[in-house]
Structure 1
């Protein structure tokens, strides 16, 4: 099914007046979201306390989650797929204008603006964890690349790891501010659906298709195996 990024104003008032509760976020998406929140917080605490071994394990777990989310974005449930929420920048601007006009929320899944934030956060998490694996292996002299990468490249990767952490912190702050803005200014609660998976939508909006749970388990195992191999290389 092709993604529908039309403005909320495209639907008739009569259609919008009748609503029903539908499941828009499956267990894999919700677990990924909240585990990522917990692990990012744990990564900050462990690096501040200089618990490097724990920090590295947390970084590896985060990378497993990111790889899983990328795979789930290709093969998973409808609302998790990138094809359902990655829109053109113009569509994101149209969405923000519609929200500012306080038009009804009829988006099943990430809205066009939120979709870009998802991509940004995933990119920053992937880059931060990958550079972190290299930095740890370079310091511990464990990874094969630590012996062949020139010192200038190694130093650049180490500096990039710190810069990416700051960029990730800024992106997370923007994300939290946006969620608060939707809730307190425009009356759209984006947190509750990420907790219980459900959202009230107009009756004419189809319930998103869900992928089987066994597929999520298989993809998580693939992600864990891939990260384990990658950690031994970096």
Structure 2
């Protein structure tokens, strides 16, 4: 039976992993409240779900602020500077090559997508707070926008567009994890639980930790 030798390194710190889990669960539960609300007509059930949606939105705002802060003040692999690789992105586009060189930390090419997602989450948080104020008279923006019903479309269109993009990102992100684990024969998904990343050695031998 063929065996493989791995190198491993502690890459993701506990704070980053907690923020990642917090934001991931917030996004999934936010999506769930939207899907479930469509099963209800106008009534108590729908109102309750939208109230939950707003509070989950607050949780996501906290998570986004925490990630932005940790992306500046956190350790090396948590920082946005460690995810900034414009030369690699340009080379990938110019040569139509999406195969990133192995490295410990965020994937060089995927990190560009992650940075874009953080930007979209920040916009979604702002537009969500705006909708909470305009439609439900809730949240910190209620003082400024609570009586401006005409702002609903201004906030709603980008909010819904980003929502659809995030659904696509979640599906592609999970599919990419599964594909890379099988193609590269390295455990990726566990990195945000254990903090360790593994790389396959070029030489074969017994697997070691």
Under a length normalisation based on structure 2, what TM-score does the superposition of the two structures give?
Answer: 0.75
Aligned residue in 2 for 1:59: 57
Aligned residue in 2 for 1:223: none
Aligned residue in 1 for 2:40: none
Cα RMSD (Å) of the superposition?
2.8
Asked whether the equivalents of residues 121 and 172 of structure 1 are also in contact (C-alpha less than 8 Å), the reply is: no
Aligned residue in 2 for 1:32: 19
Q: Which residue, out of 137, 141, 146, partners 2:133?
A: 137
Q: Does 1:165 align with 2:152?
A: no
For 1:30 and 1:95, locate their aligned partners in 2 and report how far apart those are by CA, in whole Å.
32
Structure 1 residues 71 and 91, CA, compared in 2 at 3 Å: closer, same or farther? Answer: farther
Under a length normalisation based on structure 1, what TM-score does the superposition of the two structures give?
Answer: 0.68
| SS of residue paired to 1:157 | helix
Unpaired runs of at least 5, structure 1: 1-16, 204-234
| SS of residue paired to 1:84 | helix
Asked whether the equivalents of residues 96 and 113 of structure 1 are also in contact (C-alpha less than 8 Å), the reply is: no
Asked whether the equivalents of residues 128 and 164 of structure 1 are also in contact (C-alpha less than 8 Å), the reply is: yes
For 2:69 and 2:158, locate their aligned partners in 1 and report how far apart those are by CA, in whole Å.
26
Deviation of 1:20 after TM superposition, in Å, equals 4.3
Structure-to-structure mapping, 1:37-186, within 5 angstroms: 37-47=24-34, 48-49=36-37, 50=46, 51-88=49-86, 89-90=89-90, 97-99=98-100, 105=102, 107-142=103-138, 143-146=142-145, 151=150, 153-186=151-184
